[in-house]
């Protein structure tokens, strides 16, 4: 399916709500849960979830949601997660990914990592403009959501402050080919956005399938 056709599937408002709910969970979601969360009937939710799967926007599988196995555990239920593929539409056609990869390759070969990070840090500072750094993690959630990072709050046991992690890396396509360069650039960008002397700090803490950076309260600062 062409990207434009896949994205057009989200035009239906119910379908879009279901897609956004599944994506926001960061885990497998069953039909009953998705239906209840979005306020639609289970049969309608199942129809739209399967449409999203057919369009390549979601992936489906099956497992026992009860967590039990063996006799009496019940039949496996269909579950959904966001598809790993990336979809984009540009009219007329543009190829920014190739340009970004070429620039990244040239920067890496020329050893321009420090210069790239300095530019990224300045861009992060420019993004917040005259406003000061975010004062707490709730403000950080809003700032990161506006940049497409799909942030979520992670409250660690025994830690009052917790942290903000991100399910999406906006630079994922290029980061796959040039991880040290692009991840370093991403960290510098967020350091510029949140500052290095304020109540929050960005640091590298990569997790599979997520952004390589975590934002947390600085030491000696509460949330």
Instruction: Tell me what pLDDT residue 37 has.
Output: 97
Most confident of 14-23, 129-138, 209-218: 14-23
Residue with tokens 């750094």, as numbered in its chain: 133
Instruction: Tell me what pLDDT residue 87 has.
Output: 86
Calpha distance 45→66 (Å, rounded) = 20
Instruction: Tell me what pLDDT residue 105 has.
Output: 97
Are 57 and 10 in contact, with CB atoms under 8 Å apart?
yes
Q: Which helix (H) or strand (E) holds 130?
A: none
Segment 78-111, tens digit of pLDDT: 999 999 888 888 888 899 999 999 999 999 999 9
Calpha distance 88→94 (Å, rounded) = 10
Angle between helix axes 42-54 and 31-38 (nearest 10 degrees) is 110
Instruction: Tell me what pLDDT residue 174 has.
Output: 96
Calpha distance 8→129 (Å, rounded) = 35
The DSSP 8-state label assigned to residue 11 in this structure reads G
Calpha distance 182→173 (Å, rounded) = 10
**What percent of the chain lies above the pLDDT cut of 90?**
71
Calpha distance 47→78 (Å, rounded) = 12
Say which residue, 218 or 163, is predicted with more confidence: 163
Are 133 and 198 in contact, with CB atoms under 8 Å apart?
yes
The DSSP 8-state label assigned to residue 168 in this structure reads -
Structure confidence at residue 145 as a pLDDT band (50, 70, 90): very high
Sign of the four-CA dihedral 144, 145, 148, 149? positive
141-156: average pLDDT = 91
Instruction: Tell me what pLDDT residue 223 has.
Output: 45
Segment 176-212, tens digit of pLDDT: 999 999 999 999 999 999 998 889 999 999 988 899 9
Token pair recorded at residue 105: 């390759």
Say which residue, 206 or 157, is predicted with more confidence: 206
Calpha distance 145→82 (Å, rounded) = 17
136-160: average pLDDT = 85
User: 29: buried, middle or exposed (CB in 10 Å: 19+, 13-18, 0-12)?
Assistant: buried
Calpha distance 157→126 (Å, rounded) = 35
Token pair recorded at residue 68: 């039990």
Q: What does pLDDT average to over the chain?
A: 90
For residue 71, pLDDT over 70 is answered with no
Please tell me whether the peptide bond between 92 and the residue prior to it is cis, using omega within 30 degrees of 0. Answer: yes
Calpha distance 202→192 (Å, rounded) = 9
């Amino acid at each position: 399916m062409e990207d434009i056709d896949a994205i057009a599937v989200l035009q239906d408002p119910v379908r879009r709500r279901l897609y956004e709910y599944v994506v926001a969970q960061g885990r497998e979601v069953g039909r009953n849960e998705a239906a209840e969360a979005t306020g639609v009937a289970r049969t309608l939710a199942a129809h739209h979830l399967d449409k999203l799967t057919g369009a390549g926007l979601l992936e489906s599988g099956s497992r026992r949601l009860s967590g039990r196995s063996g006799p009496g555990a019940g039949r496996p239920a269909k579950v959904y997660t966001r598809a790993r593929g990336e979809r984009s539409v540009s009219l007329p056609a543009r190829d920014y990914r190739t340009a970004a990869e070429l620039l990244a390759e040239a920067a890496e070969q020329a050893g321009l990592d420090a210069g790239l990070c300095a530019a990224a840090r300045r861009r992060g500072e420019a993004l917040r403009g005259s406003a000061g750094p975010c004062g707490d993690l709730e403000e950080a959630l809003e700032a990161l959501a506006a940049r497409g990072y799909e942030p979520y709050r992670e409250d660690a046991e025994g830690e009052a402050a917790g942290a903000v992690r991100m399910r999406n890396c906006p630079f994922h396509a290029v980061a796959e080919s040039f991880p040290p360069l692009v991840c370093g650039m991403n960290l510098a960008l967020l350091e510029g956005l949140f500052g290095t002397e304020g109540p929050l700090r960005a640091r590298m803490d990569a997790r599979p399938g997520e952004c390589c950076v975590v934002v947390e309260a600085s030491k000696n600062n509460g949330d």
